[in-house]
Amino acid sequence: MHLFRLAAGLDRGDLMRLLLDHDASKDAVTVELLRALLETVANLGHEGVLRHLLQHRLTNILLTYAFFRKLAHIAGTCGHLSVLRCLLLHRRRTVVGWNTGMTPFIYSVLQVAAPLGHATIVRMLLLVVRVEPTAPLTPAELGRLVQVTAPHGHTDVVELLLHCGADPDRRTLGTPMSALSGATLGGHIGVVKALLRYNVSPETRHPDQPKPLPLAASRGHLNIVQLLLENGAEIEAEAWGHTALVCAVENGHTEVVRRLLQWGALTNVQNANGRTLFEIAQARRDDTILNLISDRVAGRLDPF
């Protein structure tokens, strides 16, 4: 059995074929061994070995829908496109009505592949759903994928999903923020641009959650602050009872403070504890921000 595991681990398809041919009359390969070998090659991405294993006579007994799904999830998680394609083609050739129930199966693989940024796998699975006679993925389902992918910054995957009709404003249970807020918090400007390009409002948020602009300001994401403002974000929108300007001052993000002041942010605001901008900056001993606020109040700061 050691040689079988060695061939699987080293991606030696030729050796695996030789071993399987030699074993044909001895029945040394058990269901348990075949299961372990299939999981190994799915995890390592060894398509050549997988092809030989799928031809074994015990495969039809072993490859139930549940185990097929497990192998596909392994390949999807690891980003092994060729392995996943091989599994799908095998099921298409060997199972009557193979595409029955395929939409929820494909969606389950997308749920692991999309947040990890495996764009080629996402593209292939979306194509399978489009060209095979399976039930289509709904805008809501695609939107949930956008929401769990956006915080990880995978712009190419987000764009694929949006292009296929995803509803990016869809809320998913267990995810505290909208896709736009999640991308903003992580500083993923490519995702933010994609969402805005597909007409997501810069004010989009989930109920009782902060709006994107103060989130971006609190993290010092100047480019995203600028992008949101250019797309109509409300400059006095609050997060945790703080405007974007208060968030930027409290966290010492000088250039964000400058940009917000240049865009006309109000200076007579307070944080949740009732402290003014001057008091916040003084407590931080941040002379640069103090000077910026003073210049704005005195009319010495040029607009952007």
| Tens digits of residue pLDDT in 86-115 | 999 988 887 766 667 788 889 999 999 999
Same topology, domains 138-207 and 210-304? Answer is yes
Instruction: Report the SS3 class of residue 61.
Output: helix
For residue 63, what are the CA distances in angstroms to 35, 57, 69, 97, 216? 9, 11, 9, 15, 48
Whose CA is closest to 54, among 87, 8, 24? 87
Q: How is residue 151 annotated by DSSP?
A: G
Average pLDDT over residues 243-257: 97
Q: How far is residue 4's CA from residue 19's CA, in Å, rounded to a whole number?
A: 7
Give 173 or 22, the one with higher predicted confidence.
22
Q: Are strands 238-239 and 242-243 parallel, antiparallel or unpaired?
A: antiparallel
Average pLDDT over residues 171-196: 88
For the chain, the structural domain boundaries read: 138-207, 210-304
Q: Is 286 exposed, middle or buried (0-12, 13-18, 19+ CB in 10 A)?
A: middle
Average pLDDT over residues 52-74: 88
Q: How far is residue 253's CA from residue 238's CA, in Å, rounded to a whole number?
A: 17
The yes-or-no verdict on residue 199 having pLDDT over 60 is yes
Average pLDDT over residues 201-215: 85
Average pLDDT over residues 183-194: 97
Contact 107/121 with Cβ under 8 angstroms?
no
Q: What are the φ and ψ backbone dihedral angles of 31, each rounded to 5 degrees?
A: -60, -40
Q: Which helix (H) or strand (E) holds 234?
A: none
Instruction: Report the SS3 class of residue 297.
Output: helix
Band of pLDDT at residue 58, cut at 50, 70 and 90 = confident
Q: State the angle between helix axes of 139-149 and 155-163 in degrees (0 to 180), rounded to the nearest 10.
A: 170
Enter the CATH code of domain 210-304: 1.25.40.20
pLDDT value at position 296? 93
pLDDT value at position 98? 65
Contact 84/72 with Cβ under 8 angstroms?
yes
Contact 137/178 with Cβ under 8 angstroms?
no
Count of residues making up the chain:
304
Average pLDDT over residues 21-33: 71
Q: How far is residue 282's CA from residue 301's CA, in Å, rounded to a whole number?
A: 20
pLDDT value at position 26? 58
The yes-or-no verdict on residue 206 having pLDDT over 90 is no
Structure token digits, residue 258:
């400058």
pTM assigned to the model? 0.89
pLDDT value at position 274? 92
Contact 223/253 with Cβ under 8 angstroms?
no
Tokens 């992008």 found at: 227
CATH fold of the domain at 138-207? 1.25.40
The yes-or-no verdict on residue 128 having pLDDT over 90 is no
Give 228 or 173, the one with higher predicted confidence.
228
Instruction: Report the SS3 class of residue 231.
Output: coil
The yes-or-no verdict on residue 132 having pLDDT over 80 is no
Instruction: Report the SS3 class of residue 189.
Output: helix
Structure token digits, residue 228:
């949101």
Q: For the chain, what is the mean pLDDT? A: 89
The yes-or-no verdict on residue 17 having pLDDT over 90 is no
